[in-house]
Amino acid sequence: MRPDTPADHITEAERLLRTAAQYPEDHEPLFLQAAAHLELAGDRARATGLYDQLLSAPPTDTANPYLVKALKAANLWEYGHEAEARAIIDGIRVAGPLQAAPWQIVAGTLEAHDELEAAHDVLQTALTLLLAPGEEVPYATQSLLTGRHRVRRLMGHDHDAWDELADALSTANVSLDELHDPKRLWSLGSSDPGELKAEITRLRAELGTYRAALSRPFPVAVLHWPEAELAELLDAYPSLADEEYTTHTEHLARLEAALRDLHAGGTPNLGIVAGTVPSYEAFAASEAASPADPNLLPQYATTLAARGRAIPWPPARSAACWCGSGRAYRECHGVA
């Protein structure tokens, strides 16, 4: 189910908070996702309350304190607490975290409030920290390069080496230069204000998608059953066997294909969660449902992802494949 109305978002937030009570060790990703739903429902004050709860825990208990701070700042700025938001953002910039996500949220927040110069500075600082010359650019860092490319186009800067890198890494079917062309936004010659407005809306939506996706870690995760678990699952619940759940080899191939389809369709933040029969049975029991019901599988995957159990996909080409074969992704399921 994809929540759409404010009431749906509140219901989903409540469900995630109940899951957090059930799995306290996974409360951080569940809180972040619940807060995102509260923001979407317009209950920004309650979302701030969740961020504060995470930030008041001992530092060792919070896995991503800078991400939580960045999300809190983005949320505060949206409901009239600009000064507080700016103070948090300044703190993050000074601290210089080595993860891409907090920088992405900070830059996106500044850009959303038309502070292009500051957004550019933030992306510059982040990439200086995170880009290692000559090494493969991780997927999360790539979105910082893309954001910087967009901001620089809006500011009218010429391309530099990082812009060229952004262009080279882009796999979208429209080139970044076309997508980020400020003339599409501000073309003085355009006599059609409606057209101009549509472009602005489109670019805003692009930015909105990034922020929404990042504030909800791994919203789309596919379910991977390791070989022994798949055998045990189909043995215990033969009704689950279908074209996707047949042989283990076929199961793995279909997962990779499904992820590539989602990726090509522009779905950001993809991940893989690994299922085990005991945890699946426990989940079924908590939902008062039968494990033999195939409709339960996507809910199980969503819940594992919300608990922060997803590993991001795609892996780096040279990193170990997600399937656990021990081979590099490019020589295993990442083979072109």
Backbone angles phi, psi at 120, to 5 degrees: -65, -45
Residue 321 interacts with Zn ion (CB under 5 A)?
A: yes
Paired tokens of 109: 């927040």
Residue 128 interacts with Zn ion (CB under 5 A)?
A: no
d(CA 1, CA 329): 31
CB 304 within 8 A of CB 310: yes
Count of residues near Zn ion by CB under 5 A: 9
CB 289 within 8 A of CB 296: yes
Closest distance to Zn ion from the beta carbon of 167 (Å): 4
Closest distance to Zn ion from the beta carbon of 315 (Å): 9
Residue 240 interacts with Zn ion (CB under 5 A)?
A: no
* Among residues 13, 35, 230, 323, the one that binds Zn ion under rule CB under 5 A: 323
Q: CB under 5 A: which stretch of 10-18, 95-103, 132-140, 174-182 binds Zn ion?
A: 174-182
Residue 332 interacts with Zn ion (CB under 5 A)?
A: yes
Query: Binding to Zn ion (CB under 5 A): which residues in 129-168?
Result: 163, 167
Q: Which is nearer to Zn ion, 26 or 181 (CB)?
A: 181
- The residue count of the chain comes to 336
| 3-class DSSP state of 220 | strand
Closest distance to Zn ion from the beta carbon of 324 (Å): 7
Query: Binding to Zn ion (CB under 5 A): which residues in 265-304?
Result: none
- With a CB cutoff of 8 Å and minimum separation 6, the contacts of 252 are 224, 323, 333
Residue 227 interacts with Zn ion (CB under 5 A)?
A: no
Paired tokens of 113: 């409030």
Closest distance to Zn ion from the beta carbon of 103 (Å): 20
Residue 333 interacts with Zn ion (CB under 5 A)?
A: yes
d(CA 62, CA 292): 36
CB 248 within 8 A of CB 324: no
Intra-chain end-to-end CA distance of the chain, in Å: 33
d(CA 100, CA 62): 17
Q: Which is nearer to Zn ion, 177 or 287 (CB)?
A: 177
* Among residues 26, 78, 115, 177, the one that binds Zn ion under rule CB under 5 A: 177
d(CA 185, CA 269): 27
Q: Which residues pair with 224 in a beta bridge?
A: 274
Closest distance to Zn ion from the beta carbon of 333 (Å): 4
Q: Which is nearer to Zn ion, 44 or 153 (CB)?
A: 153
* Among residues 98, 202, 325, 331, the one that binds Zn ion under rule CB under 5 A: 325
Residue 74 interacts with Zn ion (CB under 5 A)?
A: no
Q: Which is nearer to Zn ion, 16 or 321 (CB)?
A: 321
Q: Which residues bind Zn ion (CB under 5 A)?
A: 163, 167, 176-177, 321, 323, 325, 332-333
